[in-house]
Structure 1
Amino acid sequence: MNLDDTGLSGPTIVLILLALLIVVAIFRGIRVVPQSEKFVVERFGRLRSVLSPGLNLIVPFLDRVAHRVSILERQLPTTRQDAITSDNVLVAVDISVFYRITEPEKTVYRIRDVDAAISTTVAGIVRSEIGRMELDQVQSNRSSLIGAVKAQLADQVDDWGIEVTRAEILDVNLDEATRSAMLQQLNAERARRAQVTEAEGRKRAVELQADAELYAAEQQAKARRIQADAEAYATGVVAEAIGRSGIEAAQYQVALKQVEALVALGKGEGQRTVVVPAAAIESFGEAFRMFAGGRRP
Structure 2
Amino acid sequence: MPFVFAFFVVLVLFATLVLARTIRIVPQARAGIVERFGKYRATLQPGLNIVTPFVDRVRYVIDMREQVVSFPPQPVITEDNLVVSIDTVIYFQVTDPVAATYEIANYIQAIEQLTMTTLRNIVGGMDLEQTLTSREDINRGLSSVLDEATGRWGVRVGRVEIKGIDPPPSIKDSMEKQMRADRDKRAAILTAEGQRQSAILTAEGNKQAAILNAEGNREAVILRAQADRESAILRAQGEGQAIQTVFQAIHDGQPDQALLAYQYLQMMPKIAEGDANKVWVVPSEITKALEGLGSAVHEVSGIPKHTGGPRTRVDMGSMERVEVGGSDPSLSKAHQDVKDAIAAAEASAAGGPISTPTADAPSSDAPDAAPPAAGPPSAG
When normalised by structure 2's length, the TM-score is: 0.53
Per-residue deviation, 1:25: 6.4
Deviations along 1:215-259, whole A, 9 cap, x unmatched?
Answer: 2123213313533663586599799xx8xxxxxx68316779xxx
Distance (Å, rounded) in 2 between the aligned partners of 1:254 and 1:58? 141
Residue 280 of structure 1 aligns with which residue? none
- Corresponding residue number in structure 1 for 2:180: 187
Among residues 103, 107, 111, which one is paired with 2:104 in the alignment?
111
Of 41, 51, 54, the match for 2:34 = 41
Alignment partners' CA distance in 1, 2:155 and 2:116: 17
Deviation of 1:23 (Å): 8.5
Residues 227 and 164 (structure 1), Cα distance of their counterparts in 2 relative to 1, 3 Å cut: same
User: What residue is the counterpart of 1:151 in the other structure?
Assistant: 144
Q: Any idea what SS the aligned residue of 2:81 has? A: coil
1:112-191 equivalent positions in 2, closer than 5 A: 112-191=105-184
Question: Rg larger in 1 or in 2?
Answer: 2
Displacement of 1:28: 4.1
Q: Distance in 2 between matches of 1:62 and 1:203?
A: 91
Q: Distance in 1 between matches of 2:78 and 2:121?
A: 9
Q: Which is worse superposed, 21-30 or 200-209?
A: 21-30
Is the Cα contact below 8 Å between 1:150 and 1:167 reproduced in 2? yes
Deviations 1:180-229 (A, max 9, x none): 33233223213312321331232122112202202212321331353366
Q: How many angstroms does 1:51 deviate by?
A: 1.4
Distance 1:168 1:67 in 2: 29
Contact 2:87–2:162 under 8 Å retained in 1: yes
Cross-structure match for 2:90: 97
1:198 corresponds in structure 2 to 191
The 1:253–1:119 alpha-carbon spacing in structure 2 relative to 1, beyond 3 Å, is farther
Conserved in 2, the CA contact under 8 Å of 1:129 and 1:145?
yes
Q: For 1:112, what is the secondary structure of its paired residue?
A: coil
Paired residues of 1:79 and 1:96 also in contact (CA < 8 A): no
Identity of aligned residues (%): 30
Tell me the SS of whatever aligns to 2:212: helix
Q: Given that residues 71 and 112 in structure 2 are in contact (C-alpha distance below 8 angstroms), is that contact kept between their aligned partners in structure 1?
A: no
Contact 2:25 2:47 in 1 (8 A): yes
State the partner residue of 1:251: 236
1:13 matched residue in structure 2 = none
Distance 2:141 2:155 in 1: 17
The answer for unaligned runs of 5 or more in structure 2 is 5-10, 242-273, 278-315, 317-380
CA deviation profile, 1:263-284 (whole Å, cap 9, x unmatched): xxxxxxx9579xxxxxxxxxxx
Distance, in Å, in 1 between the alignment partners of 2:137 and 2:200 is: 45
Greater helix share, 1 or 2?
1
Instruction: Please point out which of 37, 60, 69 is paired with 1:76.
Output: 69
**How far apart, CA to CA, are the structure 2 residues paired with 1:254 and 1:228?**
26
Q: Number of aligned pairs?
A: 242
Cα distance between partner residues in 1 of 2:183 and 2:117 = 37
Give the superposed CA RMSD.
Answer: 3.9
The 3-state SS of whatever aligns with 2:89 is: strand
Deviation string 1:17-73 (CA, Å, 9 cap, x unpaired) is 9x9999876654432101242101223433222112112344555533222223344
**Aligned partner letter, 2:106:** D
1:93 counterpart SS class? strand
SS in 2 for 1:86: coil
Deviation at 1:122, TM superposition (A): 0.3
Structure 1 unaligned segments of length 5 or more: list them. 7-16, 243-248, 257-269, 274-291, 293-297
Write the distance in 2 (CA, Å) between the matches of 1:51 and 1:255.
Answer: 134
Query: Residues 14-93 of structure 1 correspond to what in structure 2 (within 5 A)?
Result: 28-60=21-53, 62-93=55-86
Letter in 2 for 1:175: P
Q: Measured at CA, do residues 251 and 126 of structure 1 come closer, stay the same or move farther in structure 2, by a change above 3 Å?
A: same
